[in-house]
Amino acid sequence: MSTALQHIVRALQLDPGHELAQKLRNRVKEVERLKEEGNVAFKQNWWEEAVERYGKALEKNRASEEEGKGGQIMATSLSNKATALLKLKKNEKALEASNESLELLPCPFKALNTRAQIYLNLEKCDATIGDFKSAIREASAEESATDTDVQALRAELGKAKVALKRSKTKDYYKILGMHKECSEVEIKKAYQRESFKHQAPSR
């Protein structure tokens, strides 16, 4: 049972006829059901279905202003949705969901790790490194995190630093319009072709 639901149950024990608490209990149960369906789909690698289930959980969460918007449940559903969208390579939508999640709950290392991976896909290396460092800091302080979690984050941070270093060097293959598996002869031809383009016209 979630913390939110525990609080609602305690409130109903004190006042069984409290109408708003009853409505809130029903909504929280429905949100958790939808979120769990999303988790099941995610574990089966059914990314599209996972996104749909998490989306429905979020819609249900947003359904009533007077009942509140369920900060932690909302943040978790958004982070899970972002992770599923990341798997689908829908990076912009994933980033939007991830940012919204971290606005509600700024510190979970898993959510920071997800956003770091999104930034990496978007080639935003500085932001990637910042989020991995924050994730490592939070994981080191979070009781639910293990040493394996921290080590995995450190490994990802190392990869991100390498990617940042590469991003600051010129990609000559890209400049020449060649793939990295091309032959030396092909590279020479491409270089000659580019050189010819930039030669000053004869007078």
Cβ–Cβ under 8 Å, residues 78 and 100: yes
Instruction: Tell me the per-residue pLDDT of 44-100, one tens digit each, with 9 for 90 and over.
Output: 999 999 999 999 999 887 765 544 455 788 899 999 999 999 999 999 999 999 999
Where is 58: in which H helix or E strand? Answer: helix 47-61
Alpha-carbon span 199 to 197, nearest angstrom: 6
Instruction: Tell me the per-residue pLDDT of 105-142, one tens digit each, with 9 for 90 and over.
Output: 888 999 999 999 999 999 899 999 999 999 999 999 99
